[in-house]
Amino acid sequence: MPVGFEFTCPLPNGLHARPATALAEAAASWPASSTLTNLRTGMAADATSVLEIVAAGILNGDPCRLECRGEEEAQACAALRAFIEDILPNCDEPLPVVEDQAPHRIPRTLDTQGAVVVTGIPASPGLGLGRVVRLSGLALPREIENQPVADPDTELGHARSAFDAVAADLRVSAELPGSPAAEINKALLALVTDPGLFQAVTAAIRNQHSGAAHAVVTAITGFCRRLRESGSIYLKERIVDLEGIGVSLLRHLPGAVIPNQDLQLTGPSILLAPNLAAGQLLNLDRNLIQGLALEAAGTTSHVVILARSFGLPGIAGLAPSAGIAAEAEALIDGTCGLLVAPVTPGVRRYYERERRICDQLQARFAAANQAPAATRDGRRIEIAANIGSAAEVETALANGAEGVGLFRTEMLFSATDTEPSEDSQYADYRAAVAACAGRPVIIRTLDIGGDKPLPYLDLPAEANPFLGIRGIRIYERCYELFRRQLRAIVRASAAGNAWVMAPMVVNVAEARWFREEVTAVQAELAEAGIPFAPRLPVGIMVETPAAALMIDALSAQVDFFSVGTNDLTQYLLAVERGNPAVEHLYEALHPALLRTLSLVTERAKVHGKWVGICGELARNPLYAPLLIGLDFDELSMSAPAIPAVRAAVVHADHAACRALAQRALACADADQVWSELAYCPTAPPDLPLTAGELITVHADCRTKAEAIRELCALNYLAGRCRGIDDLEAAVWDREATYSTGLGYGIAIPHCKSEAVRTSSLAMLKLAAPVEWESLDDRPVDVVIMLTMPPADPGNRHLKVFAALSRRLMHEEFRDRLRAAEDADSILSVLAREFEPEESKGNNDA
């Protein structure tokens, strides 16, 4: 008789991948066989198989039973009961949020006349233009005939060989840890090595006398059906991964005939398909792919994740696209979720305009990357990248990184089933340090623990791993592993400017021990004649309240600090951000966190210590002025976030940021902090209302919408607003109340919005007049846009608007504006009109 127990699933998101993996690992550690049954549906699963557990469709509140049978069954049952009661509830994480298919915004500047527009969920931003290539997706052939076999063992051998071959291929392709492709191939490897899948194939061969190919199709189809019936969007999106595994297995089986699904692109292409497997995308020439339009895929599918990492425009959940013909030239807009065909002159014009704006932004970012990041008044702020492998350095530097602020070395350790050797670690660390060519590379030693286990380390299961053995606390338990890593890091320092830091330090003794270990390794290498850099800065992560409160004492032991705001926020607020029940309490702008950050930088500066920040807080450009004001030396983030944060830094004023920080520190809650951020212009107060970069003469705008879009782009390119779309929306909101066509061929669109950084006047002289619904029905050839932030001391917005309106009543002033042939001439006409009010008195002229 098996022994067992019943329980109710405590997980808000049910038994999906992460908690299922933890349970399977716990069950696999015992010799007894374990079966998990969903009593709601009657579906049973091998408790050592992640695939079977998730396919059982166990949801929050479902009654379940777990039974153990065989050797040490009683002990296994007791241990698994303790695991489910004490540990499993802490293994949950929020599943990716998939947006509802709300009505989609068709840009006002997109002329859709004569074209078919198909909408979907924006999944990966960007624009692409190319021929539509219709794909059927990766279909698992169902028509393989089941011919009874005389020798099941031979078929099992074929199946085993196919599984081993596919697993070997995936291991090879996962050699670059930290890259999106490697992470996805690691997930696929977990599927192909899952015991439940091979057991299902074995059962089909043994029980149904199936050939290996038919058994694979039967097993894969069965799991796909269970995932489809699970009710979980996330699990349904794994179906294409399973079918992809099935096709790969069939290719290694003798006699299995599958349709040739390989594709060779011949020119710029937009791929239109129900869904794609990640492997299909990886096998195509990405230089020719202009975008992905997927009908059945969601935003969490692996192919969409890859598209984002490759910078390919992508749409998920595409509406029926029968009106889009294969080989038609089409436009894909991943930002708005649109597929448009054919490319009419109006559609091409939209593409060319948006492409030009994107190119100008890239040029601006590239120009900004040439010089070290600093505020307008000269405060130097280093912008660095968070990476997981040396392969990511090139992209980081291309995006404007000035070094690596966090090298997460645990990515190297989790990429394989065995510990990476000292030499393989050294090769990766050295490659990163050398690629940065003298720029700092901060390498964090292994940060794992009960919540982030490694299969080859025997770490104890803990009821609360976040407060258990993790970070520096595991090093004495795994001392030789730690020493090998430290040797690899110190050796790599010879290639450039390496720094090293330890995670989860909470006291002086840990910091002192870590520095002593670095010194001991240096002495060991020196004695062996192995080169290393004589200067290797040693630092620690500040990610606990204890470390934050001990900066004075810790400063005697380390050279620098790096604040990890993700963990610091969780520990400070006693909130796990992955727990849906309390995630609303996780506030990145909580005043307690800001005061803690202020304390860290203030005390560190007293001791002359450098302080960086590498958590999620650093990657949001809206928060950059606050972090500058809190006196951080460095902001480190993922590579794609760097250009926007760098732009926020170079357009900020340090004095204004300091004032902002002081106000934020006095706030009572996060909402008040956000108000300070949103309502405070961070550009210097003496920035002129207008400038040459805000004026375009002979602008080729053929509609009102194009003119407004162009003016918003000028503001964004000049760093005067937070985003083109946000500013554009605010202007159109104002347009909806009344026409801004003043008459005399002049329009003055305007707004007061949180999207605005600083008050600005932008102007277009149009090459040809456009309809504006003006008061006098006259088309417009001069457009002047006024934009102001919500904090508008003295109602400057109204005063400027009133003064401009009065001056535009004068024919002489209008004539001078129209006669001006370039931006400088227009500036001279405007200069006298918008001097500071106090120097003008009551003179309206």
pLDDT single digits (tens) 722-776 = 788 889 999 999 999 988 999 999 999 999 888 888 889 999 999 999 999 998 9
Clarify whether 614 is annotated catalytic.
Answer: yes
* Residue corresponding to tokens 């619904």: 773
Q: Looking at residue 73, what is its pLDDT?
A: 92
Clarify whether 750 is annotated catalytic.
Answer: yes
CA 211-213-218 angle, 5° bins: 90
CA distance 256 to 201: 15
Using pLDDT thresholds of 50, 70 and 90, give the confidence band for residue 844.
Answer: very low
Question: Which strand ranges, in their side-by-side order, compose the sheet holding 127-134?
Answer: 116-119, 338-341, 329-333, 127-134, 269-273, 289-294, 314-316, 121-124
Q: What are phi and psi of 761, to 5 degrees?
A: -125, 120
Q: Looking at residue 172, what is its pLDDT?
A: 67
CA distance 498 to 442: 6
CA distance 133 to 325: 9
Least confident residue range of 9-23, 429-443, 631-645:
9-23
Average pLDDT over residues 797-803: 75
Please enumerate in sequence order all residues whose Cβ is within 8 A of that of 734, keeping only pairs 6 or more positions apart, or say none: 740, 749, 750, 751
pLDDT above 60 (res 209): yes
Burial class (CB in 10 A: 0-12, 13-18, 19+), 510: buried
Q: Looking at residue 731, what is its pLDDT?
A: 95
Q: Looking at residue 801, what is its pLDDT?
A: 76
Tell me which residue of 796, 805, 809, 808 sits closest to 838, measured CA to CA. Answer: 796
CA distance 705 to 504: 53
* Residue corresponding to tokens 């074929």: 158
CA distance 296 to 317: 5
CA distance 680 to 4: 61
CA distance 310 to 120: 20
User: Which has the higher per-residue pLDDT, 17 or 536?
Assistant: 536
| Catalytic residue (one of 9, 16, 657, 721) | 16
CA distance 247 to 244: 5
pLDDT above 90 (res 462): no
What pLDDT, in 10s, does the model give residues 583-614? 778 888 999 999 999 999 999 999 999 999 99
Least confident residue range of 108-122, 501-515, 823-837:
823-837
Q: Please tell me which of 323-332, 525-534, 565-574, 651-660 the model is most confident about, judged by mean pLDDT.
A: 525-534
Q: Looking at residue 97, what is its pLDDT?
A: 40
Q: Which neighbouring-strand residues pair with 132? A: 270
Q: Looking at residue 718, what is its pLDDT?
A: 86
Tell me which residue of 448, 403, 443, 440 sits closest to 426, measured CA to CA. Answer: 443
What pLDDT, in 10s, does the model give residues 397-438? 988 899 999 999 987 887 666 788 999 999 999 999 999 999
Asked if 132 and 324 count as a contact pair (C-beta separation under 8 A), the reply is: yes
Please enumerate in sequence order all residues whose Cβ is within 8 A of that of 247, keeping only pairs 6 or more positions apart, or say none: 138, 140, 258, 261, 277
Q: Looking at residue 557, what is its pLDDT?
A: 97
Range 596-601, long-range pairs (CB < 8 A, 24+ positions):
596/545, 596/548, 596/568, 596/572, 597/563, 597/565, 597/627, 597/630, 597/632, 598/630, 598/661, 598/665, 599/548, 599/549, 599/551, 600/542, 600/548, 600/551, 600/561, 600/563, 601/630, 601/631, 601/632
Asked if 833 and 807 count as a contact pair (C-beta separation under 8 A), the reply is: yes
CA distance 404 to 442: 6
Please enumerate in sequence order all residues whose Cβ is within 8 A of that of 435, keeping only pairs 6 or more positions apart, or say none: 390, 393, 394, 397
Average pLDDT over residues 513-521: 97
| Catalytic residue (one of 68, 336, 614, 657) | 614
pLDDT above 50 (res 808): yes
For 159, the token pair is: 């199946």
Tell me which residue of 138, 109, 180 sits closest to 338, measured CA to CA. Answer: 109
Q: Locate the DSSP E strands across 282-358.
A: 289-294, 314-316, 329-333, 338-341
Q: Looking at residue 174, what is its pLDDT?
A: 54
> What is the distance, to the nearest Å, from the Cα of residue 548 to the centroid of all Cα atoms in its chain?
27
Tell me which residue of 106, 116, 520 sits closest to 344, measured CA to CA. Answer: 116
Q: Looking at residue 728, what is its pLDDT?
A: 93
| Catalytic residue (one of 302, 651, 654, 797) | 302
Q: Looking at residue 778, what is its pLDDT?
A: 95
CA distance 755 to 679: 9
pLDDT above 60 (res 104): no
Q: Looking at residue 308, what is its pLDDT?
A: 78
Q: Looking at residue 358, what is its pLDDT?
A: 84
Which DSSP letter does residue 31 get?
A: S
Q: Looking at residue 592, what is its pLDDT?
A: 96
Q: Looking at residue 836, what is its pLDDT?
A: 46
Q: Looking at residue 257, what is its pLDDT?
A: 67
Q: Looking at residue 369, what is its pLDDT?
A: 73
Q: Looking at residue 580, what is its pLDDT?
A: 60
Q: Looking at residue 419, what is its pLDDT?
A: 86
Burial class (CB in 10 A: 0-12, 13-18, 19+), 42: exposed
CA distance 405 to 442: 5
Q: Looking at residue 251, what is its pLDDT?
A: 84
CA distance 270 to 273: 10
Using pLDDT thresholds of 50, 70 and 90, give the confidence band for residue 70.
Answer: very high
CB atoms within 10 A of CB 417: 11
Q: Looking at residue 679, what is its pLDDT?
A: 65
Q: Which neighbouring-strand residues pair with 339? A: 118, 332
Q: Looking at residue 345, what is its pLDDT?
A: 92
What pLDDT, in 10s, does the model give residues 539-559? 999 999 999 999 999 999 999
Share of the chain above pLDDT 90, in %: 46
| Catalytic residue (one of 91, 750, 751, 797) | 750
Q: What are phi and psi of 830, to 5 degrees?
A: -80, -25
Q: Looking at residue 673, what is its pLDDT?
A: 93
Q: Looking at residue 94, what is its pLDDT?
A: 46
For 546, the token pair is: 């204890």
Q: Please tell me which of 264-273, 492-501, 836-845 the model is most confident about, judged by mean pLDDT.
A: 492-501
Largest CA distance in the chain: 104
Tell me which residue of 239, 230, 238, 198 sits closest to 216, measured CA to CA. Answer: 198
Asked if 318 and 301 count as a contact pair (C-beta separation under 8 A), the reply is: no
Clarify whether 651 is annotated catalytic.
Answer: no
Q: Is the dihedral of CA 540, 543, 544, 545 positive or negative?
A: positive
Q: Looking at residue 95, what is its pLDDT?
A: 44
Which DSSP letter does residue 381 get?
A: -
Q: Looking at residue 455, what is its pLDDT?
A: 66
SS3 of residue 529 by DSSP: coil
Range 307-313, long-range pairs (CB < 8 A, 24+ positions):
307/123, 307/124, 307/281, 308/123, 308/124, 308/180, 309/179, 309/180, 309/181, 310/180, 310/286, 311/124, 311/126, 312/124, 312/126, 312/128, 312/286, 313/124, 313/125, 313/126, 313/127, 313/128
Using pLDDT thresholds of 50, 70 and 90, give the confidence band for residue 686.
Answer: low
CA distance 554 to 501: 13
Q: b/e map of 139-176 (b: 16 or more CB within 10 Å)? A: ebeeebeeeebeebeebbebbeebbebbbebbbebbeb
pLDDT above 50 (res 339): yes
Q: Are strands 780-788 and 63-69 parallel, antiparallel or unpaired?
A: unpaired
User: Which has the higher per-residue pLDDT, 147 or 214?
Assistant: 214
CB atoms within 10 A of CB 77: 21
Average pLDDT over residues 112-129: 89
User: Which has the higher per-residue pLDDT, 146 or 756?
Assistant: 756
Burial class (CB in 10 A: 0-12, 13-18, 19+), 370: exposed
Q: Looking at residue 714, what is its pLDDT?
A: 94
> What is the distance, to the nearest Å, from the Cα of residue 727 to the centroid of all Cα atoms in its chain?
24
Asked if 702 and 768 count as a contact pair (C-beta separation under 8 A), the reply is: yes
Average pLDDT over residues 804-822: 90
For 748, the token pair is: 């003055």
Side-chain half-sphere CA neighbours of 579 within 13 A:
14
Helix (H) or strand (E) run with residue 677 in it: helix 670-679
User: Which has the higher per-residue pLDDT, 678 or 445?
Assistant: 445
* Residue corresponding to tokens 């286990």: 453
